[in-house]
Amino acid sequence: MRILGVNIPDNKKIDISLSYIYGIGRTGAGKIIAEAGLETSKRAKNLSPEEINKIQGIVERNYKIEGELRRVIRQNVNRLIEIKAYRGIRHARRLPVRGQRTRTNSRTVRGNVRKTAGSGKRKVELK
């Protein structure tokens, strides 16, 4: 089944299957279902065309999803980079933005992947 250009799993409940759309989480899906007046226990494959249209109308009116949301987020990050804000500098250098430590974590992002070293002794095979 497709809603707003996104494939949604048929055999899952509506609230979980709506969360497959980028920009709609579990709480947002619950609000959409409540506004549409549907049962949360209903499966996505059992939705009628009218119910699908209700959901699509609510999402189009109230939510930014998929490509539009990704574009807005990218513009926000680019604005931070252009005005040389601290967060923008962290984004540009591909470092953690929200205050996480960098001494021990975020090694893979920084390109500093360490290999675990052995004891240094060579193992001798017994014959």
pLDDT at 113 > cutoff 80: no
pLDDT at 87 > cutoff 90: yes
State mean pLDDT over 98-124.
73
Q: Provide the residue count of the chain.
A: 127
Q: How far is CA 33 from CA 1, 2, 11, 98, in A?
A: 17, 17, 17, 33
State mean pLDDT over 107-118.
68
For the chain, domains (ranges, CATH) are 2-63 (1.10.8.50), 67-110 (4.10.910.10)
Q: How confident is the model at residue 106 (pLDDT cuts 50, 70, 90)?
A: confident
Least confident of 19-23, 68-72, 119-123: 119-123
Q: How does the average pLDDT of the chain come out, rounded?
A: 86
What DSSP state is assigned to residue 3? E
The whole-angstrom separation of Cα 80 and Cα 74 is 10
More confident residue, 83 or 127: 83
Is this structure's pTM higher than 0.95? no
Query: Exposed/middle/buried for 66, CB within 10 Å: 0-12, 13-18, 19+?
Result: middle
